[in-house]
A and B are shown apart, each in its own frame.
Chain A
C-alpha cells in the first residue's frame, strides 16, 4: 500500500464511519422539530397507581410514538440499585417499568433494554426490587451491569467529568427513557432523573471524588433522556436514598412526565420542598442549557386520575 492508496482508504473509511452516525442524528432532529408546541412540556398526574397515571400522562403528552419510532432500540433506566422491596421507596415501581416497556413496544420499538448499575449485589437488588420479573414478563431485556466489561470508555467533555465508562446499552440505544423514583439524597440533595443517570456509569466513586453535582450535570453532555418519567408514589423525603424507616416515606401518589430533564427534576425537587435553583446539579444543568428551570415558562398539564 503506497501513501496515495493509504490516504484514499483513510478518507473512505472516514466517510463510511460518518455515514453510519447520521441516521440516528437525523431521526432525533426530526423528532424534536415535529413535537414543538403541540404538547405540554410537563405532565403532572396524581391520584392513581403509577401505571394508570402513566397511561393518562402519555396520552396528554402525545403518546410514546412521539419519542420512539418503529424499529428503534430503547434504554429504560429505572432505579433498581437497592436490595429493598418496592414499598421501601428506594427503587422504581416494577409496574411502572413494565408499563413503560409496553408503551415502547406498542410504539414499535425493536428492543427495550433495562439497566441500572446496582449498588448492592445486583442479583439481590434485581430480586427485591421485583423489576427483574417485571422486565422479563413485559418482553424487555434485563441488561447485566455488574462487570466493567459491559461498559465502554466515552468522552464526556465536561468541566469535572472529562470521560467515563458508560454502559453499552446506553451507547447503543436510539432512545433513552429515564424512569427514576423521586427521593431525598443525603449528598446530592435529591435523586431524580439527572442523578439517576449515574446508574449508567461504571465508576461511581469518581463522581464523588471529582464533585458530585458537577459530574451529574456534565453527564447530560453525553446523553439527555428523551423522556423523563418520575415515579412519586411513595417518596423518601428525608434520610435518603436507601431508606429504611417507614416514617420517612410520604405517599404523594403522583407521576411527572416531561421530555425536559431539567424541568422534571426541578418539579420533583419542588415536591420535596426545595425552591428552583436550590439543588446545585439541577441549576448547573439549566445553566448549561440542558433544559428549563423556570417552570412558569412552561406549559404544564395537571391531571387527576
Chain B
C-alpha cells in the first residue's frame, strides 16, 4: 500500500511542478501563447456560464472536492505549487518549520472579505487573495534580465512575492489557508465521504507526518489530519513508518468544532462558491438590479481591452490575474492603480488583428471577439488637436498617424503649407487603438485618447474619396519614362 501512496505522491509532485513551470513560463514570456487560454480554463476562477468548457471547471473542482478532496489545490493550482517549491527548498536548507500549524483564526476575515466582494460584485475585494490572480500579479511579464514587469505592477508584485515567500519558506502553504478558493474547496472536502485518516489505535505519534506535510495540517499528537485543509498530496501516507495513514471512507473528522465560527465559514463558503460558479447570469442580475452604479458613474474611465463590453461588465468580472497583460504583444495592457488592468497608450498600440487578451481571460471579463468584430470594436476615442501637428507647426511632411491608422479614421488631405498634406480625422471610424498617439512626433502630442463607457461597433474601414492627386500608370500603359 505504501508503494502506491509513494507513487501517487511523486506523480502529484511531478504534475504540480509541471503546472508551475507552465504558468511561470506563460506569464513571464511576453507575447501571445496558444497554450495560455486552455491552461486558464483549468484554473479555479469565476466563470461565465455558457463560455464553453470554462463554465464548468470550477464546478467540476467543487464536485471533486465534495467526493474526494482538494484535488485542484494539490495539482492544478500554480500558486500552491509555487509555495510548495519555496517550502521544499527552504526545508532542504533547514529553514522551514516542519510541524503541525494550527490555522490562524484571522483567516476567516479573508473569507468574509471575499464573500463581501462576491455579494457586492467588487472583484478587487473578491480576488484579493485569489490564487491565480496573485500568481499573475507576481509573474506577469516579469523580465528577470532587467528586473521589470508589467509596468506599474512591480511594487505590488514585490510585496506580494515577499509575503508569500516569507510564509512559504517558514511555514509551508500558508497562503492556502487564506485563499477564497481554498475556503470553498475546504468546506466541500470537509463534508466529503472520503479523506486521509490516521489509525489512532496503532499510531505512535512519531511526528514524521508533520515533517512531510506541505500543508502542515497533519497533527501527529492529536493523531488526526485537518480534513478541510488537506489537499490529498499523500505525503503522510507515503512517509508513515508504520503505514498507519491511509486514504479511504471517512466522514467523522471535524477540526474547528461546530460553533459560531463554523457557521460563519459555511456561509462564506456558500457565498464565495456562488461567486465562483454563479456564472454570468447571476452576476448580471446582481449588477443590473442592485449595483448598476457600482462602476464610477462620473469622470473619466480608463480604456479597457477590446471585448470588455462596458465598464460594469468588466469591473464585475475581472479578477486582475493579468493574463491579458502577459499576452498583449505590445504590452499596453497594464495594471495602473486598480488591480483591474487598462490600456496605457504611448509606448505601443492595440494591434488591429489581435484578439489574444480575450482568448486568455479566464472570467470572460474580456469576451472572446472574433477578429472581424474586434476590428470594429471601439475601446476608446481619439481626439486630434490639429494646431499641434508638425505639418502645421513646422511646415514639414509627416503623415505618421494616417499611416498607422488601421480604419482610416485618419487620412491625409491637402493642407498646411503648399505641397503638404495634413491629417483629417473622422471620429465615427475611430476604434481607439492608440496607434496615432503612439507615433505622433509632435510635442506636445497632437492626440489624446479617452476610454469609453460602452464599447460600441464602428462601421469598419472608412472608404475615402478620391484624393484627386495624380494619374498613375495602369496595366496596359507603357512606362511613363
Contact = CB atoms under 8 A, between A and B. Distances in A.
Contact of B472 (A123, A237, A295): A237
Interface string A127-146: 01000000000000000000
A284 to B, nearest CB: 12
B399 A185 contact: yes
B436 to A, nearest CB: 12
Nearest to B394: A211
Contact of A186 (B352, B390, B402, B481): B402
B34 to A, nearest CB: 12
Contacts of A110: none
A121 B403 contact: no
Nearest to B473: A271
B475 A252 contact: yes
Contacts of B479: 44, 46, 254, 267, 270-271, 302
B461 interface: yes
Contacts of B369: none
A282 B159 CA distance: 56
Contact of A242 (B404, B419, B440, B463): B404
A187 B400 contact: yes
A211 B396 contact: yes
Nearest to A298: B481
A217 to B, nearest CB: 12
A238 B469 contact: yes
Contacts of A186: 399, 402-403, 411-412, 421
A3 to B, nearest CB: 41
A120 B469 contact: no
Interface in A204-239: 204-209, 211-213, 235, 237-239
Contact of A212 (B329, B397, B411, B466): B397
A185 B408 CA distance: 13
A180 to B, nearest CB: 15
- Size category of the binding interface on chain A: 35 or more
B474 interface: yes
A274 B469 CA distance: 9
Interface string B137-164: 0000000000000000000000000000
A251 interface: yes
A188 B472 contact: no
B40 interface: no
A119 B352 contact: no
A244 interface: yes
B471 interface: yes
A253 B475 contact: yes
A44 B480 CA distance: 11
Given A187-B397, A209-B390, A273-B473, A241 B403 contact: yes
A123 B480 contact: no
A128 B353 CA distance: 10
A187 B421 contact: yes
Nearest to B466: A238
B352 A280 contact: no
Nearest to B410: A186
Tell me the dominant secondary structure on chain B's binding face: loop
B306 to A, nearest CB: 15
Interface in A264-305: 266-267, 270-274, 280, 295, 300, 302
A189 interface: yes
A277 to B, nearest CB: 11
Which of B400, B407, B421: most chain A Cβ within 10 A? Answer: B400
A213 B397 contact: yes
B263 to A, nearest CB: 53
A116 interface: no
A186 to B, nearest CB: 3
Interface string B407-451: 110011000000101000000000000000001111100000000
A178 B399 CA distance: 23
A276 B419 CA distance: 15
A208 B398 CA distance: 5
Nearest to B461: A244
Contact of A206 (B402, B441, B469, B481): B441
A225 to B, nearest CB: 19
B473 to A, nearest CB: 5
A103 B480 CA distance: 29
Interface string A40-60: 000010100000000000000
B372 to A, nearest CB: 14
Contact of A205 (B411, B439, B473): B439
Contacts of B394: 211
B31 A123 contact: yes
Contacts of A270: 473, 479-481
Contacts of A239: 408, 411, 464, 467
Contact of A187 (B351, B352, B403, B471): B403
Interface in B77-101: none
B301 interface: no
Contact of B403 (A83, A185, A271): A185
Contacts of A171: none
Contact of A245 (B402, B419, B464, B470): B464
B129 to A, nearest CB: 35
Nearest to B352: A83
A121 B421 contact: no
A250 interface: yes
A238 B466 CA distance: 8
A124 interface: yes
B464 A295 contact: no
Nearest to A119: B404
Contacts of A123: 31-32, 329
Nearest to B439: A205
Contact of A188 (B399, B467, B471): B399
Which of A119, A186, A207: most chain B Cβ within 10 A? Answer: A186
B354 interface: yes
Contacts of B439: 204-205, 208
B330 interface: yes
B69 interface: no
A123 B396 CA distance: 32
B329 A274 contact: no
16 contacts: A83-B352, A120-B404, A187-B398, A187-B412, A188-B397, A208-B390, A244-B408, A244-B461, A252-B472, A270-B479, A271-B472, A271-B480, A272-B473, A273-B470, A273-B472, A295-B481
Interface of B: 31-32, 329-330, 351-354, 390, 394, 396-400, 402-408, 411-412, 419, 421, 439-443, 461, 463-464, 466-467, 469-475, 478-481
Given A208-B398, A271-B480, A274-B470, 4 more contacts: A209-B390, A209-B441, A254-B479, A273-B469
- A-B pairs, top 9 by smallest CB distance, nearest first, are A187-B399, A273-B470, A186-B412, A209-B441, A208-B441, A186-B399, A237-B472, A121-B329, A186-B402
